[in-house]
Amino acid sequence: MIRYLVIAGLLSHNLVVQAPVRHVMTWNVCAGTNSGCPLFRRSTTEVAWHVAVLATKADVVFLQEFCTGADADLERELEARTGRAWSVKSAGLTHPDGSSYLCHPDWNGRPRGVQSVTLAVAEQDARFDVHALTSPPWSARRYAVCTADRAFCTSHFSSGAESDDRQKGAPYRHAQLHELFTLGRGVVGGDLNLVPRDAASAYKGRDECDPRNRWTYVTRKRKIDYLFAGDGRIRGCFVDYGRSGWSDHVPMHVWVAR
């Protein structure tokens, strides 16, 4: 569904100009493997409910550290809350040996699938593509998920931990940054695990949701989550600190003119 910003035009007869706008949210759910996060080992239904509560007004949702086992629950919950059809696509992370990077089971021992980067779109039968990103051969393999027309692309970059691109200059994260922005032709973002000065190349020719660069990562109070769009297309931004107890990241919302 397309939403609109109504702009009082300085046209004859006081005509009103309507600019179509898409509302995009990004959130690192922290549901998969981090025992310090509130949604760790919560059921797939509970994880999906928390996302859908945040995304009731959104048209597109970017998620990181989601679990593939919650995909169907998320689609169902979004449709029930919004009254719209939704399509959900996840890309599960893999270990260096190719095995799945599993989410921990829920508290009742039920499997929750693979830790993922996920894209949800308020469209019936939307088409998606998954793209492998350059990743350290000794750590988790990272992916980007995009709509088939590449109007929306999201990813979760290497963490920067000692075993995951801690090298000087963050070479793998910068490679991932280049690859993601080569793929994305519209709204691009997610948890990039880079502070703004290190993500500087992403700003060239683009606007970013929060030019104030407020923190999005709760644990270390720094900005590592982003929503970019073409120059001049961003109409509004909201960093939802009211949800700071739901994850180790806070959700970000952007309104983008088409």
CATH assignment of the domain containing 102:
3.60.10.10
Give the structural domain span for 248: 3-257
Predicted TM-score (pTM) of this structure: 0.92
Are the C-beta atoms of 252 and 237 separated by less than 8 Å?
yes
pLDDT tens string, the chain, 258 residues long: the values are 434 443 333 233 343 345 689 999 999 999 999 999 999 999 999 999 999 999 999 999 999 999 999 999 999 999 999 999 999 999 999 999 999 999 999 999 999 999 999 999 999 999 999 999 999 999 999 999 999 999 999 999 999 888 898 888 899 999 999 999 999 999 999 999 999 999 999 999 999 999 899 999 999 999 999 999 999 999 999 999 999 999 999 999 999 998
For the chain, how many structural domains are there in total? 1
254, 230 in Cβ contact below 8 A? no
Sign of the dihedral through C-alpha 218, 219, 220, 223: negative
**Cα-to-chain-centroid distance, residue 229:** 14
